Amino acid sequence: MTTSGQIHIARGTRDLCVQTRYANRHGLIAGATGTGKSVSLMLLAEEFSKAGVPVFLADVKGDLAGLSQPAVLGDKLRNRLKLLGIEHSWKPGANPVVFWDIYGKNGHPLRTTISEMGPILLARLMELNEVQSGVLNVVFRVADEEGLLLIDLPDLRAMLNYVSENAKAISAEYGLVSSTSIAAVQRALLGLEDVGAREFFGEPAFQLQDFFGIDPNGRGVINIMSAEQLIMKPKLYSSFLLWLLSELFEQLPEVGDLDKPRLVFFFDEAHLLFDDAPPSLIQRVEQVVRLIRSKGVGVYFCSQNPDDVPGDILGQLGHRIQHALRAFTPRDQKAVKTAAETFVANPGLDVVKAITELNVGEALASFLEEGGRPAMVERAWILTPGCRIGAITPEERAAVRAAGPIGHKYDEAIDRESAYEILKQRAEPQPEATADAGTQPAGGGWSLNWPWSKPQAPAPAPPPVPTPRPRATTTRSAPAPKPRQPAAPRASNRQGVGEAFAKSVARTVGNQLGRQLLRGILGAITRK
């Protein structure tokens, strides 16, 4: 139930509410399997939608799709409503929902480009070591210098081959790039294709503004990403959500504290985000979580145990819903103690004991009160959403998708000229220049000049963006790049960091990859 400025979440000795002006202070939903976490998540998503706040969440089991359908009043639900004392005020209803799917089967395709993902997240996705990650970073830098767009996996493979063929000259500029490390990255790229990443990288790339929909009734659109298949590939799942989070941080302007968030982002199975993550990445996630609040985004983590979330990040989460935990093992007992310590103590409640005694649908809850202060923990029953609690049929999903506002915007993949095509053209034999055409520049006929190979040549004008064309159905093989000429001395004409950055930005302004040098706060780790 939503009233002005607050949404009702649970009912105990009193109604427990989240004030919308503090909803961007983030939150946590935790509890053992089967204790009601999914229902709490659905209730929060539904209530935020009623308050006019768009929502994004990942559906790892397929049951969250029920948000798109009204509930059916049965005996079990009727008894639940009677227990809560809301049998007369509760009404069933569907929510405005848009389905998304990386694989394009259960929703609109979600794609990004290699450049937008950036080397850091790609390295994590490909499970590269420090040396191999450095090589990948060099590949991205070379592509930036050459003005080559890295859109899909064939583009990245072509750039790896190019760097390999020109390793001597590139090593002189950026440090040693060994053939062994390049080969390791190439093998990791094959593994990336094996986990289904080919469908994820490409165009048309997802536009973030499509997450901020408001329906004609003023309700926020609930964006549900189908993750039943994706969750079986944890690295791809977590890297994708990290990329989304970084895109939100990068693109949204500072707005301070609003009356309600601009977007609420639910991160289900949060432990996958932090498993085997390097300390630098965890530190960056902590920074994003701390700062994205001022951009009007609330981040809510969902996991089985509170200690799945690092302590520094856990301390940033102002809203807590803790379902039952089972203290059967030493780890479980530690998790119970950790969960109890995260709440503001209530003199009338033994939190440690209560956590192990909670019924299904019952929780310990604490939300921010006036002034942003956390309230004392209370034991309460989570309210029941008006949507269906459970999966939907393929026909129902298809009907929701067809009636949504996205239409066919992302359905047809396109393949415009990028690194693969340009390098392939360079590798092809070039006709001899005529007298009228002038003398061919040194360097084997390359269409673009390396900054160190021809210092006196003026920078070429940015090439026009070609008209997108349908993606070919056949698999592209990486071209065999033509080796370039030995590097010439650059003397006093050496580019400074600022100059290189300015030129690179100028090359990309006006196209969809204008943000490729600003790949998100997470992608900037190695350059800080």
Please indicate, yes or no, if residue 161 is contained in any of the structural domains: yes
CB under 8 Å to 528, separation ≥6 — which residues?
A: none
- Looking at the structure, tell me whether residues 284 and 325 fall in a common domain: yes
Domain span including residue 125? 114-200+412-427+453-527
- C-alpha to C-alpha distance for 71 and 69, rounded to whole angstroms: 7
C-alpha dihedral (171, 172, 176, 182), degrees to nearest 10: 0
Please indicate, yes or no, if residue 403 is contained in any of the structural domains: no
Please indicate, yes or no, if residue 436 is contained in any of the structural domains: no
So what's the pLDDT on residue 350?
Answer: 93
- Looking at the structure, tell me whether residues 237 and 313 fall in a common domain: yes
| Closest alpha carbon to 260 in 291, 288, 220, 221 | 220
- Looking at the structure, tell me whether residues 96 and 138 fall in a common domain: no
Question: Can you tell me which residue has the tokens 């070379």?
Answer: 142
Helix, strand, or coil (residue 484): coil
Please indicate, yes or no, if residue 405 is contained in any of the structural domains: no
Split into its structural domains, the chain has a count of 2
Please indicate, yes or no, if residue 421 is contained in any of the structural domains: yes
- Looking at the structure, tell me whether residues 367 and 247 fall in a common domain: yes
CATH number where 54 lies: 3.40.50.300
β-strand 27-30 against 2-3: which pairing, if any? unpaired
- C-alpha to C-alpha distance for 119 and 141, rounded to whole angstroms: 10
The secondary structure of the chain in percent helix, strand, coil, rounded to multiples of 5, reads 40, 15, 45
- C-alpha to C-alpha distance for 24 and 300, rounded to whole angstroms: 9
- C-alpha to C-alpha distance for 224 and 226, rounded to whole angstroms: 6
| Closest alpha carbon to 158 in 170, 168, 149 | 149
Bridge partner residues of 381 (DSSP): 11, 362
Helix, strand, or coil (residue 53): coil
- Looking at the structure, tell me whether residues 195 and 229 fall in a common domain: no
So what's the pLDDT on residue 466?
Answer: 44
Q: Provide φ and ψ at 39, rounded to 5°.
A: -65, -40
Bridge partner residues of 59 (DSSP): 226
- Looking at the structure, tell me whether residues 196 and 214 fall in a common domain: no
Please indicate, yes or no, if residue 250 is contained in any of the structural domains: yes
pTM for this structure?
0.78
Residue type present at position 20: T
CA distances from 422 to 147, 439, 457, 466 (A): 10, 22, 20, 12
Q: For 277-340, where are the E strands, in sequence order?
A: 297-303, 319-322
Please indicate, yes or no, if residue 443 is contained in any of the structural domains: no
- Looking at the structure, tell me whether residues 247 and 339 fall in a common domain: yes
Burial label, 104 (beta-carbon count in 10 A; 0-12, 13-18, 19+): middle
- Looking at the structure, tell me whether residues 6 and 99 fall in a common domain: yes
- Looking at the structure, tell me whether residues 77 and 182 fall in a common domain: no
* pLDDT tens, the chain, 528 aa long: 666 789 999 998 899 999 999 999 999 999 998 899 999 999 999 999 999 999 999 999 999 999 999 999 999 999 999 999 998 899 999 999 999 999 889 999 999 999 988 898 898 888 898 999 999 999 999 999 988 999 999 999 999 999 999 999 999 988 889 999 999 999 999 888 877 788 889 999 999 999 999 999 999 999 999 999 888 888 788 888 888 888 898 899 999 889 999 999 999 888 888 877 777 778 878 888 888 999 999 999 999 888 888 888 888 899 999 999 987 788 778 888 888 888 988 999 999 999 999 999 999 999 999 888 999 999 999 999 999 999 999 999 999 999 999 988 998 888 888 888 888 888 777 665 544 444 433 333 323 333 333 334 444 444 444 444 444 333 444 444 444 444 443 333 334 434 433 443 344 333 433 344 334 444 443 334
- Looking at the structure, tell me whether residues 187 and 233 fall in a common domain: no
Burial label, 524 (beta-carbon count in 10 A; 0-12, 13-18, 19+): middle
- Looking at the structure, tell me whether residues 243 and 317 fall in a common domain: yes
Please indicate, yes or no, if residue 70 is contained in any of the structural domains: yes
- Looking at the structure, tell me whether residues 88 and 217 fall in a common domain: yes
